[in-house]
Amino acid sequence: MAAVVAVGALALLANVGLRPASTSARFSAAISSPPSEFTGATLSPTVAPVITPSIENRFVRLDWQRVVSSRPVAYSVERTMSGGAPSSVCSVRPAGTVTNDIVSCTDGTSVADGTYSYTEMPYIDIAGSTPWSLPRSTASAPFLVPRLAHLANGSDVASVGANVVVPYPTGTRSGDVLLLVSVSGRNKSPTTPTGWSELVSRGVSGVSSAHLYVAWRVADASTSVTLDPQANGVGASTRIINYGQVNGNNTNPVIATSNIVAGTSPASTTFTSPSDIVTDASNAVVVSIVATNGATSLALSTPKGFAFRVSANTSPGSGSVSFGVADTNVAATGGPVASPTWTQSGTPQTWIHATVAFR
Amino acid sequence: MKRPNARFTMNLGGGLLAIAAMGTLVIGSTLALFSASETSGSNDFAAGTVTVGLGDASSIECDISGMAPGDSSKFAATGSNSLDSCTYEVKYTGSSTAWLSVDVAVATTGTNLYTAGQDGLQFYVGAGSTNIMNGTKYKTLDGTATTVNSGETVEHILIAATPATTNTTVSFGIEYLLPLLAPNALQGGNTSITLTFRAVQSANQPIGDCVAGQQCNTIIWG
């Protein structure tokens, strides 16, 4: 009995001695800071936009939607030929220029007759860093680089006289295709200048009297041509349009159809050529030209792949004339090329039209 | 058969004695006696206080967005040195002397900008000349550099080896760097860092082996 009491007393003592040390509190206080937050940059949109290729100034121009970030964004642009390995283009950092949220750059080494697909990869442009980027875009649709492409419209020469001097467009080089287009308020064919070849000379008489004359040549070192448009007091509007050789095209341009389409059509608001041109060679540029006697604005209402290039209505003399030009590139040969639909403003006038092709 | 009567007699005698005693007591309690007394002076006991608060200077809470590889705060060792440093200004306001420490918590809610490695966000936390966190490391009690893991709180890094007194101010500085080698996977990542300033009475609590700038878990922090 005495032993049990002694053990109990020791246990009590042990408790008293140990428990305060293991559980005792100390006077204390604490305060926490608000969290400081750090967030990494992102790229928006989160999917790299697809490239749209086109031709500008003899080279392939590439356009795509801008990608934005908190830092300057550069783009790694690659092209691939069918079955080939990717190669880099547009190595400028950040690549190209931005206009209206569209990024552009030029592929300076692609060549005519080549077919390319393009991709781009946006990345945050910080020298020496592991690039923060988006996955590379899906490939653009295969793009056939044309041999000839619209390069420039020369100045309009409006005159009621004979022997007007029509300047070549700025940037013309030997080997380019030059189209001489003259619209007169008088239905009379001009004389084709030396060195030029007539393509179309069609007109209508009466109250809508007008004449469309189209000639062409491979550009030489000259800077202008003299033409008598056979105008009367109504006057004539004449200019030269350059379809320049695209980079890598060293072949002499030729007509790419055995059947130039031309004609007239009664006055109406819209017009579609009743005949489609058929090209006889691959990778040809097809040019649609329309003219009227009147101060009408001509535009494409159904392009069918044609790109609008110029519309002019002028009053060179006592009356007005107008004309429009559009074109498209046709890869394959042998089939009809669907004609675009043109529209004119104001009181409808008789249409005069022509469709030609070169390569 | 006489025994019950005898018991009654004894009981009757006892009752009379009790009555007599009660009479004596009643008479005694109402008597006035000569007496005197004196009260001691008041013995007061007041506890000291251990309290903390914000410092007199303003803190700079960081909210840095759009960070890219190479970005760093003004006083980081490398990087752009173009972004604001973060500060946390606090003060010990208690009346008792106290040990001061800080807890560091790094956290994320998604992709972590802080990888606990050399390729992620680096934090350089200090209080005056005391280093609290250097990149991704803190020091344990024995001075071993140890990684600060995201989602965990590193507790009780001692700020000074001498007790703080009333109105001792502490200015924490947070410098940071996102290295150039930060991988693409960190794009859009986020991280936060939170400091908890602690004070505990130093009285009756020797500091032992604790060293400023190292974890001090050998004393009770409350």
Residue A33 lies in a domain: no
One domain for residues A286 and A254: yes
One domain for residues A249 and A281: yes
- C-alpha span between A187 and A314 (Å, rounded): 17
Beta-bridge partners for A261: A355
Q: What is the per-residue pLDDT across B103-162, written as a single tens digit (0 to 9) for each?
A: 999 999 889 999 999 999 999 999 999 999 999 999 999 999 999 999 999 999 999 999
Helix (H) or strand (E) holding B169: strand B168-177
Last residue of a domain, one of A93, A109, A144: A144
One domain for residues A127 and A156: no
Strand A177-184 vs strand A270-272: parallel, antiparallel, or unpaired? unpaired
Strand A277-278 vs strand A336-337: parallel, antiparallel, or unpaired? antiparallel
Residue A157 lies in a domain: yes
Last residue of a domain, one of A125, A144, A163: A144
Residue A2 lies in a domain: no
Residue A314 lies in a domain: yes
**pLDDT > 70 in chain A, percent:** 92
How many Å lie between the alpha carbon of B67 and the closest alpha carbon of chain A? Answer: 4
Residue A69 lies in a domain: yes
- C-alpha span between A85 and A89 (Å, rounded): 13
* Interface contact B64-A39, CB threshold 8 A: yes
Residue A352 lies in a domain: yes
One domain for residues A122 and A163: no
One domain for residues A109 and A165: no
Last residue of a domain, one of A119, A144, A169: A144
pLDDT of residue B22: 44
One domain for residues A299 and A159: yes
Single-letter code of the amino acid located at B105:
A
CATH number at residue A122: 2.60.40.10
Residue A325 phi, psi dihedral angles, 5° rounding: -135, 135
Chain B residues with CB under 8 Å of A129 CB are 68-70, 180-182
One domain for residues A167 and A300: yes
One domain for residues A76 and A130: yes
Helix (H) or strand (E) holding B67: strand B63-67
Beta-bridge partners for A269: none
* Interface contact A32-B197, CB threshold 8 A: yes
Give SS3 for B62: coil
- C-alpha span between A299 and B63 (Å, rounded): 54
Residue A130 lies in a domain: yes
**Within 10 A of A326 (CB to CB), how many other CB atoms are there?**
25
Give SS3 for B79: coil
- Tally the domains of chain A: 2
- Interface check for A69 against chain B (CB to CB < 8 A): the answer is yes
One domain for residues A124 and A204: no
Cis ω on the peptide bond leading into residue A94 (within 30° of 0)?
yes
pLDDT of residue B33: 86
Strand B63-67 vs strand A36-40: parallel, antiparallel, or unpaired? parallel
Residue (of A208, A210, A206, A161) closest to A181 by Cα position: A210
- C-alpha span between B75 and B82 (Å, rounded): 9
- For A221, the domain range is 148-358
Q: What is the per-residue pLDDT across A263-278, written as a single tens digit (0 to 9) for each?
A: 999 999 999 999 999 9
- C-alpha span between A300 and A340 (Å, rounded): 7
One domain for residues A313 and A231: yes
Q: Which of B111, B191, B218, B221 to mutate to test the interface with A (most CBs of A within 10 A)?
A: B191
Residue A30 lies in a domain: no
One domain for residues A198 and A281: yes
Compare all CA atoms of chain A with the CA of B103 and give the residue at the minimum distance: A32
Q: What is the per-residue pLDDT across B172-218, written as a single tens digit (0 to 9) for each?
A: 999 999 999 999 999 999 999 999 999 999 999 999 999 999 999 99
One domain for residues A267 and A221: yes
